[in-house]
Amino acid sequence: MTAVDSHASVTGQTPGGASLRDVVAAYVGLTKPRVIELLLLTTVPVMFFAHRGVPSLGLVVATVIGGALSAGGASALNCVYDRDIDEQMRRTRRRALPRHIVSPKAALVFGVALIAISTLVLGFFVNWLSAGLSVGAGAFYLFVYTMLLKRRTTQNIVWGGLAGCFPALIGWTAVTNELAWAPVVLFLVVFFWTPPHTWALAMRYREDYAAVDVPMLPVVRSGVDVAKQIVAYSWVMVAVSLLLWPVADTGLVYPIAAVVLGATFLVEAHLMWLRARKSDELTDIRPMRLFHWSNLYLSLLFVAVALDPLLTR
């Protein structure tokens, strides 16, 4: 053992100067845990809905592990590709690669390994249809959104956001091993939810995106124009969410929740639009208010998806 290695083993420091705890935290950070939480939140409730009750614990665990590894791997690869702009943005400059705690090569191997393990877990312990959908979602996120759309068009998050819609399909196929119209409706709910959610966050960090030439809509359009788009997508999102009632023949729990949550979301979206009409200052528009509400909206809507078959038997 060299003197450096000996020192590292005693102090818990890596040769690069970061502690072992920092390195572990950096690898976890590469997977974007908050994104994983959100994706799993749209996977597990759909499994309950597809089963019309409580699915087997083993199936849920395998789907959660496989889905988390897949999303984490795709996020790690996204971090590798975007490391140049991540270094310049306030929101992302504390990530592992900009801080040089993890090398790009190590992050690349880490991401590919997670996706490979995820595919095997889903394929052998869930089914190969779910595994294929998971691989497709990760590939779409990396190649279509990250590499093709993100730095080229204001529609980046609209079409790139399709990758985040796949968990609704995966949750359904994990239970049924086939597709149906019900998960397609939920897929579309997430699709129309993504632009308002992401544009609100991008509005808060529009100077960051402008500095690295990423043409997020709030960078190239005024606050009132962005808010108007958010209102339009919000109306479509709420309308699509109500389609699950007739398409899947749900009980009353889901449509009541969808109406209440949707109405509240629309109120918040319209209030943001009214604030944007008066001022283009972020402190006046308060986009993060809608961003946080959008997280709560999607969480509670999918909780209602899970509870509906349990409470209306």
- Per residue in 54-67, pLDDT (tens digit) is 999 999 999 999 99
Token digits of residue 57: 């614990």
Is pLDDT of 10 > 60? no
Residue 75 CA, chain-centre distance (Å), reads 10
Structure tokens that stand for 139 in this block: 């590939």
Q: What count of residues does the chain have?
A: 313
Considering just the CA atoms, what is the radius of gyration of the chain in Å? 21
Q: How far is Cα 150 from Cα 144, in angstroms, rounded to an integer?
A: 8
Task: Tell me the three state secondary structure of residue 160.
Answer: helix
**Residue 53: which H helix or E strand, with range?**
none
Task: Find out whether 82 and 156 touch, Cβ atoms under 8 Å.
Answer: no
Determine phi and psi for 19, rounding to 5 degrees: -75, 160
In eight-state DSSP terms, residue 162 is G
What gap in Å lies between CA 157 and CA 80, rounded to an integer? Answer: 19
Q: What is the pLDDT of residues 14-63, one digit of tens each?
A: 445 678 888 999 999 999 998 998 889 999 999 999 999 999 999 999 99
Share of the chain above pLDDT 70, in %: 94
Domains parsed from the chain with CATH numbers: 20-178 (1.10.357.140), 180-313 (1.20.120)
What is the average per-residue pLDDT within 186-205?
97
Quote the DSSP letter at residue 167: H
Q: Which residue has the tokens 């196929």?
A: 173
Tens-place pLDDT, residues 272-287: 999 999 998 988 999 9
SS3 annotation, 99-156:
CCCCCHHHHHHHHHHHHHHHHHHHHHHCCHHHHHHHHHHHHHHHHHHHHHHCCCCCCH
The Cα 163–Cα 180 span in angstroms is 18
Give the residue-averaged pLDDT of 105-109: 97
Check residue 91 and give its pLDDT: 86
pLDDT of residue 6: 36
CA distances from 103 to 28, 79, 110 (A): 14, 11, 10
Q: How many CB atoms lie within 10 A of CB 16?
A: 12
Q: Output the pTM of the full model.
A: 0.92
* Cα-Cα end-to-end distance for the chain: 65
Q: Residues 206-210: what's their mean pLDDT?
A: 93
Q: What is the pLDDT of residue 8?
A: 38
Q: How far is CA 299 from CA 38, 42, 112, 193, in A?
A: 8, 8, 29, 12
Residue 85 has pLDDT above 70, yes or no: yes
**Whether 89 contacts 212, CB under 8 Å:** yes
Cα–Cα distance between 109 and 47 in angstroms, integer?
31
- The pLDDT assigned to 38 comes to 86
CA distance 312 to 304: 11
CA distances from residue 95 to 26, 33, 34, 102, 107 in whole angstroms, order as listed? 7, 12, 14, 10, 12
Q: Which residues contact 271 (CB under 8 A, 6 or more apart)?
A: none
166-179 pLDDT tens trace: 999 999 999 999 99
Higher pLDDT, 35 or 192: 192
